[in-house]
Amino acid sequence: MPKQRPHSRLEDRFLKIKPIPLSRSCYRMVSPKYDVLNTNGSLLYPGRYSNREFRVLYTADSQEACSRELARKTTIKTKLIYKIAELNVKLKKVIDLTNEQNLKMLDIQKDDLVSNSWILTQHIASLAYQEGCEALLVPSVTGKGNNIILFPENFTKDSTLKKTREETV
């Protein structure tokens, strides 16, 4: 019989957070050559909430937050063309890390989620994914709005993710 790995203190605390339902619009910007719902990039490149072990779809709760996230990552100062899509999500199992009580329960602060180190955030995303969570609601590094980090592989038959609008900007 395989030996079970003991939970770390963070894992134990994480399991005490009660997931919430989430039903709202969110936004995603990508190069025109990509489908806005494509998650392949998360398997190729690590990110704040992606360690390349599972599919992640990064979205923002507003167009402004989405644009600022992209601008933060882009070093080219010429005007580039992107597609922005409005997506409608309806989920039942979301971990809200914008909630101060949940941060206290994890014994972390908002600054830990927006720091330059991705070790903690990738670990939290792994825990959420392993526990079957459909998404994380987290503060945007830009300080404007929040990000909704989707785990499409954990969606249930009741989960929805629909593109409601797409335009080139």
**Domain annotation covers residue 3:** no
pLDDT over threshold 80, residue 28: yes
Would 2 be classed as within a structural domain?
no
Does residue 40 sit within a domain? Answer: yes
| Number of structural domains in the chain | 1
Domain-located, residue 4: no
Which residues touch 126 (CB under 8 Å, ≥6 apart)? 51, 53, 54
Model pTM score: 0.90
Q: Which residues contact 150 (CB under 8 A, 6 or more apart)?
A: 56, 57, 58, 59, 89, 134, 135, 161
Mean pLDDT, the chain, integer: 90
Which amino acid is located at 165 in the chain?
A: R
Q: Which percentage of the chain shows pLDDT scores above 70? A: 91
- Inside any domain, residue 133: yes
pLDDT in tens, 32-78: 889 999 999 899 999 999 999 999 999 999 998 888 887 776 665 55
Range of the domain at 31: 9-168
